[in-house]
Each structure stands twice: as structure tokens, then as C-alpha cells.
Amino acid sequence: MHLPEIHIERQHRGWELRTEMLLPHEPEQVFPFFADAGNLQQLTPRYLRFKILTPLPIEMHRGAVIDYRLRLHGLPIAWRTEITEWDPPYRFVDSQRKGPYRWWVHEHQFLVDESGGTRVVDCVRYDLPLGRLLHPLFVKRDLRNIFRFRAKVMHEHFIESVAQAASL
């Protein structure tokens, strides 16, 4: 399995993480998986002990607020995001309202690819306290690991499971 590249670059203000992955399904088939907040736990590495605190199911729409708890390097972290843009089945944006970052804006795009599949694009813009110190020591590596895990889960869910079903 070839995992997509994860690009992290310093921006004028903060950093930008960008990664994309091609899935062999139309956006209408891919988007619902990401629109279900309950799947966030599946997309997050177990070592983060990620837990959604907002009662499920969560009706996703612009203005929806989701509370989480996780542990990173042994530290408990409370995190609250708000869905600030909602355009199914092609795009949504979640923005941190409370959490470890100064700011965090995660844009999820589901673009129709010329192959007939969906190009899933994640673009995260963020900054954090003591960023110039913490980013190269921990944060850059942590985010790469989290998004690698996410890509692996997407591959298993959308590619391997389909191939297995087709071979039955």
C-alpha cells in the first residue's frame, strides 16, 4: 500500500498541512463516511485515546459544535470544533473553538477526479503557542503520524474492503 505524501510548510502565520488521496468512489459515496462524526474515532490512532463527548449521532451542519477529549504525550486535552462551512458532498470545514492550538482550521474537500473517483484533500492551517519550538520537536511528527494513520484507515475502508467484497 502506498500512502499519500503529507506536506507541512511554514506559512506567514503558522503552518499548513496538505495531503490528498484518490479513492475509487464518487463524492456521494465518500462524503457520508466523513460527515458522520462517529467515524472520527476510527480515523484517529488509538494511542491518542480520542473520545467524542458530544452525544451521538451529531447532526452535521454549519454551526454544529463537537466536543472531544484526547491524550497527547500523556497530557489530557479538551478540544471543541465548530463546523464553519458545510457543502455536501464536496466540502466542509471544521475550526477549533477550544483546544491546544492558537487556531486550527481543517478543510476537507471531496473533488471529482478525472478517473471517476474522488480526490480527498485535507488542508489544515494552524498555529500553536511556542510553535517555533514545539512544532519541529513534536507537532510536525505527531501530525504526520496522525494523517498517515488516517490515510491507512481510508485505504482499508474504501479500497481493501471493496476489493475483498468483489472477490467473494
**Residue ranges of domains in the chain:** 6-167
Between strands 6-10 and 118-127, the pairing is: unpaired
In this structure, what C-alpha cell is assigned to residue 56?
A: 451521538
**Residue 57 near residue 40, CB atoms below 8 Å:** no
Average pLDDT estimate for 84-91: 98
Look up the pTM and report it. 0.92
Pick the CATH number of 6-167 from 3.30.1490.20, 3.20.20.80, 3.30.530.20, 3.40.50.10420: 3.30.530.20
Residue 159, exposed/middle/buried by CB under 10 A (0-12, 13-18, 19+)? Answer: middle
Tens digits of residue pLDDT in 107-158:
999 999 998 899 999 999 999 998 888 899 899 999 999 999 999 999 999 9
What percentage of the chain's residues is helix, strand, coil (to nearest 5)?
Answer: 30, 40, 30
Residue 22 confidence (pLDDT): 95
Average pLDDT, the chain: 93
Phi, psi dihedrals of residue 39, rounded to the nearest 5°: -80, -10
